[in-house]
């Protein structure tokens, strides 16, 4: 069966899309966007099938020294850097995925792994020691005898650098098919009879393109992701539940549906 793609949506943010985490079971993407001029990190939850914002551009009490850590169940976990001179000193704060309200806060807790029900991490207060928190309440509990760390359900590409066999094969194909020469590195993923390649072309400046190619070699999409680049990126696109997502010009989340 030959696959095709169709534009689904795009959303522009007032800041660089820095991190994305997904709740596969709830069909929600949580985004961290950062505006360096204002020293603000904001957070957004977006249902990508309904194309609805659950909450958008939420600014926390700590506006800058904060990062999106993970999403599990109904909980969004954020890491706060409590001492800018010591990156090991962290707090963890949990918000509700669906309404963005505060669920709990732990001032002395650094996340190491997350399961469906627990958060494992370290406290530094009385010497470094492992602590396990209940995901939904943030209260310390007895360490479980067994748990499975949650796995990211999105598909992310493999990265190959110039000189690698895969890179050189793609380079030859692009030269013959599109009269283009990828340089430095590329990201590659095969999914559902489609080939996804994010690569860098030297134009006036370094430019990043995403190509989606059918199994028989036909070009389905050529999308410029960014230009005037100083270097390469990683995870420039991902696939989730039959959708491909990427960020264009650093501030625009774009989604195509795989048909």
- Structure confidence by residue, pLDDT tens digits, 22-67: 998 999 999 999 999 999 999 999 999 999 999 999 999 999 999 9
Report, as an integer, the average pLDDT of 165-179.
96
Domain boundaries of the chain, sorted by first residue: 12-141, 158-234
Distance CA 45, CA 185 (A): 31
Q: Would you state the pLDDT for residue 126?
A: 73
For the chain, give the mean pLDDT.
Answer: 95
User: 63 Cβ partners below 8 Å, 6+ apart?
Assistant: 39, 40, 41
Q: Would you state the pLDDT for residue 116?
A: 86
Cβ atoms of residues 122 and 90 within 8 Å: no
Q: Would you state the pLDDT for residue 151?
A: 76
The label of the residue with tokens 């603000």 reads 40
Q: Residue 121 pLDDT > 80, yes or no?
A: yes
Class of domain 12-141: mainly beta
Of the chain, the percentage scoring pLDDT greater than 90 comes to 86
Q: Would you state the pLDDT for residue 153?
A: 81
Of the chain, the percentage scoring pLDDT greater than 70 comes to 100
pLDDT band, residue 1 (cuts 50/70/90):
low
Selected residue with higher pLDDT from 99 and 85: 99
How is 44-103 classified by DSSP, letter by letter?
Answer: EEEETTTTEEEEEEEE-SS-SSEEEEEEETTEEEEEEES-TT-TT-EEEEEEETTT--EE
């Amino acid at each position: 069966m030959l696959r095709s793609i169709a534009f689904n949506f795009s959303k522009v943010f007032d800041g660089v899309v820095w991190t994305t985490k997904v709740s596969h079971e709830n069909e929600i993407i949580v985004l961290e966007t950062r505006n360096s001029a204002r020293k603000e990190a904001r957070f957004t939850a977006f249902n990508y099938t309904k194309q609805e914002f659950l909450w958008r551009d939420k600014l926390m009490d700590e506006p800058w020294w904060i990062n999106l850590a993970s999403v599990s169940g109904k909980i969004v976990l954020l890491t706060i850097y409590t001492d800018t001179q010591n990156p090991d000193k962290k707090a963890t704060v949990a918000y509700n995925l669906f309404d963005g309200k505060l669920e709990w806060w732990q001032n002395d807790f650094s996340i190491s792994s997350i399961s469906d029900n627990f958060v494992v991490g370290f406290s530094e207060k009385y010497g470094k020691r492992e602590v396990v928190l209940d995901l939904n309440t943030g209260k310390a509990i007895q360490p479980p005898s067994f748990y499975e760390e949650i796995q990211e359900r999105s598909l992310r590409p493999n990265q190959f650098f110039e000189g690698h066999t895969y890179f050189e094969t793609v380079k030859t194909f692009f030269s013959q098919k599109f009269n283009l020469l990828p340089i430095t590195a590329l990201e590659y993923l095969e999914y559902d009879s489609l080939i996804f390649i994010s690569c860098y072309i030297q134009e006036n400046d370094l430019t990043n393109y995403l190509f989606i190619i059918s199994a028989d070699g036909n070009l389905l999409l050529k999308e410029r992701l960014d230009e005037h680049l100083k270097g390469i990126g990683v995870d420039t696109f991902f696939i989730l539940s039959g959708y491909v997502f990427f960020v264009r010009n650093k501030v625009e989340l774009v989604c195509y549906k795989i048909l």
